[in-house]
């Protein structure tokens, strides 16, 4: 996300109110100007901005707010509630059959991330809902579309039914028979997209819909297109009908305008959001959780779900015990790097934590690609060095050898050493925090970073080579 995201702008405007003992109408007006500007810069549809700000203003002007206790916090709650309403109010789950064959029809413009979203949805259905999934290749117009779908499916070990560049209607008909005969319980149909909506495309989509009788028609929407995304969604919905939307590319140079506009303009519930290119970056959309993230309140429930899907509970408890006991080593750090990569990215995880949204700029300096570099450094260590961090701490020659073996400078090895020390300090500090301390951290998140900053002292044992019996 770019620096002045929708969330950071709204948080900034609200922060000026939360510390005040009382508010007047001028305070509300100033806040509304900033929120309105934030939404417009985020490319939210003007009609949505108008309704959103009018609703907040009407509620915030009430006597209970202006003359009540903690008025700033009450205004924050009003903004949060309005965000939830604008996002659709509540989560709308997939409508799949409990028994028999469920059919999902995917639609969208070219470049909206439709085929990649099919892969992400396939992974979600197989790993989370435990469905036996089959993809159906019906995009015969875009060059190499079938090959792309098969490449994605191969990574997931999902079968692709395809009949080459033949009539998509015939392919759908035969695929449904094949799915039933081979005990598949969920089919995802990859339909053809276009650069823009045209009658031939719409006619084909309607025929596929009538033949397959889908349980879900999911429209992929590119978040980068802002309020145009909502217009596209409305046109698709009016002509074909859509039961839900998947907002893609939320990790790029976007400010969330598409997500805020789609439900209100097109009247389609957002069911999933996608960020990143990897196939495990699809998230079930929860309006309340998204509102909390925008306001910097964190999203602990989503974090817990992400952790549960990617990390074994016994492993996580064992890791925490090692950190607390002081036995944490480079093998453990490497394991945690792999966990983070499975869950998405370091900055994404920070976004789940209350008050940590402001650290995402700092986290950008910890490029997720650096994890690969750190992995190479750890893999260049001996088994004893990985298990006993003090060997590197006390031996300059060991550090030099590891740097050379991993193809990096000595400064990178030192950064990894600092990462190990900081990880232990941060986890110990967070595990001992109470609710008030976490709230205080939300107001000044950089305080933790100061507390865990490594000491800028010279490396121990420079020029020495103490083995302590290890090799």
Q: Percent of the chain at pLDDT above 70?
A: 69
Whether residue 44 contacts residue 258, with contact meaning beta carbons closer than 8 Å, is answered with no
Contact between 3 and 361 under an 8 Å Cβ cutoff? The reply is yes
Q: Which ranges of 326-434 does DSSP label H, i.e. alpha helix?
A: 330-343, 346-352, 360-364, 370-379, 383-387, 390-393, 396-406, 410-431
Determine how many CB atoms are found less than 10 A away from the CB of residue 195. 8
Q: Which helix (H) or strand (E) holds 52?
A: helix 46-60
Q: Under 8 Å CB-to-CB from 14, ≥6 apart: which residues?
A: 31, 72, 75, 76, 79, 295
Instruction: Specify the range with the lowest mean pLDDT, choosing from 22-31, 205-214, 285-294, 424-433.
Output: 424-433
Q: If you average pLDDT over residues 351-360, what whole number do you get? A: 50
DSSP letters spanning 311-353: S-HHHHHHHHHHHHHT---HHHHHHHHHHHHHHS-HHHHHHHS
Residue 170 confidence class, pLDDT cut points 50, 70, 90 = very high
SS3 255: coil
* Minimum mean pLDDT range among 101-105, 167-171, 180-184, 335-339: 335-339
What's residue 126's pLDDT?
93
Q: Per-residue pLDDT for 8 more than 60?
A: yes
Angstrom distance (rounded) from CA 125 to CA 128? 6
Find the angle CA(161)-CA(167)-CA(173) to the nearest 5 degrees: 55
Residues 97 and 20: their CA atoms lie apart, in Å, by 52
**Which of 166-180, 194-208, 249-263, 291-305 is modeled with the greatest confidence?**
166-180
Over range 231-242, report the average pLDDT: 87
The whole-number pLDDT of residue 201 equals 85
What pLDDT does 261 receive? 82
Q: What is the pLDDT at residue 296?
A: 67
Q: Point out the least confidently predicted range of 5-9, 44-48, 67-71.
A: 67-71
Element at 222 (helix H, strand E): strand 216-222
pLDDT for res 463 = 44
From CA 132, how far away is CA 184, in angstroms rounded? 5
Alpha helices in 432-471 (DSSP H): 435-443, 446-452
pLDDT at residue 309 in the model: 59
The predicted pLDDT at position 303 comes to 59
User: Counting Cβ atoms within 10 Å, is residue 457 exposed (0-12), middle (13-18) or buried (19+)?
Assistant: exposed
- Per residue in 298-332, is it b (16+ CB within 10 Å) or e — as a string? bbeebbebbbeebbeeeeeeebeeebeeeebbbeb
d(Cα 172, Cα 218) in Å, to the nearest integer?
A: 17
The Cα angle at residue 114 between residues 108 and 116, in degrees rounded to 5: 175
Q: Which of 189-203, 230-244, 320-334, 448-462 has the highest mean pLDDT?
A: 230-244
Tokens 């695929």, residue located: 175
pLDDT digits (tens, 9 = 90+) for 360-410: 444 444 555 677 788 899 999 999 999 898 899 889 999 999 999 999 889
Which band of pLDDT confidence, cut at 50, 70 and 90, is reported for residue 279? confident
Q: Average pLDDT, stretch 330-350?
A: 70
Per DSSP, the residues of 277-293 read SSTT-EEE--HHHHHHH
Mean of the per-residue pLDDT values of the chain: 77
- For residue 366, the SS3 value is coil
The region of weakest confidence among 32-41, 169-178, 330-339, 352-361 is 352-361
Higher-confidence residue of 255 and 307: namely 307
Rounded Cα gap, residues 260 and 255, in angstroms:
10
Q: Quick one: pLDDT band at residue 466, thresholds 50, 70, 90?
A: very low
Burial zone of 133 (CB within 10 Å; 0-12 exposed, 13-18 middle, 19+ buried):
buried
Say how far apart CA 403 and CA 298 lie, in whole Å. Answer: 38
- Render pLDDT for 185-218 as a digit per residue (tens, 0 to 9): 999 999 987 777 778 888 899 999 999 999 999 9
pLDDT tens digits along 81-138: 888 888 888 889 999 998 899 999 999 888 788 889 999 999 999 988 999 999 999 9
* DSSP conformation class of 215: S
Domains and their CATH numbers in the chain: 6-86 (1.20.120.140), 102-297 (3.40.50.300), 302-452 (1.10.260.30)
**pTM recorded for the entire structure:** 0.66
Question: 162's torsion region: left (phi>0), alpha (psi -120 to 50) or beta?
Answer: beta
């Amino acid at each position: 996300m770019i620096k002045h995201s929708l969330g950071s702008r709204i948080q900034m405007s609200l922060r000026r109110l939360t510390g005040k003992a009382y508010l007047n109408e001028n305070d509300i007006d100033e806040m509304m100007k900033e929120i309105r500007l934030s939404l417009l810069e985020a490319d939210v549809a003007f009609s949505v901005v108008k309704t959103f700000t009018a609703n907040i203003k009407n509620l915030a002007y009430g006597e209970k707010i202006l003359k009540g206790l903690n008025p700033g916090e009450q205004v924050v709650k009003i903004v949060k509630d309005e965000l939830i309403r604008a996002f659709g109010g509540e989560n709308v789950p997939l409508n799949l059959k409990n028994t028999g064959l469920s059919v999902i029809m995917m639609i969208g413009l070219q470049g909206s991330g439709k085929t990649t979203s099919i892969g992400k949805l396939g992974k979600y259905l197989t790993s989370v809902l435990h469905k036996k999934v089959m993809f159906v290749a019906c995009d015969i117009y875009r060059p190499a579309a079938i090959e792309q779908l098969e490449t994605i499916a191969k990574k997931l070990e999902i079968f692709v039914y395809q009949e080459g560049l033949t009539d998509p209607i015939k392919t759908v008909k035969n695929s449904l028979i094949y799915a039933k005969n081979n005990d598949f319980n969920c089919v995802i149909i990859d339909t053809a997209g276009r650069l823009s909506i045209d009658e031939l495309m719409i006619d084909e989509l309607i025929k596929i819909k009538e033949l397959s009788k889908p349980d879900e028609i999911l429209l992929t929407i590119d978040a980068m297109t802002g309020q145009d995304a909502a217009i596209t969604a409305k046109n698709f919905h009016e002509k074909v009908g859509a039961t839900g939307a998947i907002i893609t590319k939320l990790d790029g140079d976007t400010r969330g305008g598409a997500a805020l506009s789609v439900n209100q303009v097109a009247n389609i519930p957002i069911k999933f959001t996608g960020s990143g290119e990897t196939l495990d970056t699809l998230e079930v959309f929860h309006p309340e959780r998204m509102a909390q993230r925008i306001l910097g309140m964190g999203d602990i429930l989503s974090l817990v779900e992400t952790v549960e899907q990617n990390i074994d509970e016994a492993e996580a408890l064992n890791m925490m015990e090692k950190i607390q006991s002081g036995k944490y080593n480079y093998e453990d750090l490497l394991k945690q790097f792999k966990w983070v990569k499975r869950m998405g990215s370091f900055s994404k995880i920070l976004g789940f934590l209350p008050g940590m949204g402001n650290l995402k700029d700092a986290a950008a300096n910890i490029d997720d690609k650096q994890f690969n570099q750190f992995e190479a450094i750890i893999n260049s260590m001996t088994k004893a060095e990985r298990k006993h961090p003090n060997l590197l701490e006390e031996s300059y020659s060991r550090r030099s050898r590891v740097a050379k073996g991993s193809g990096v400078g000595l400064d990178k090895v030192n950064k990894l050493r600092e990462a190990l020390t900081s990880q232990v300090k941060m986890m110990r500090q967070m595990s001992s925090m109470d609710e008030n301390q976490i709230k205080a951290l939300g107001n000044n998140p950089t305080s933790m970073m100061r507390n865990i900053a490594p000491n800028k002292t010279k490396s121990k044992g420079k020029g020495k080579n103490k083995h302590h019996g290890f090799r």
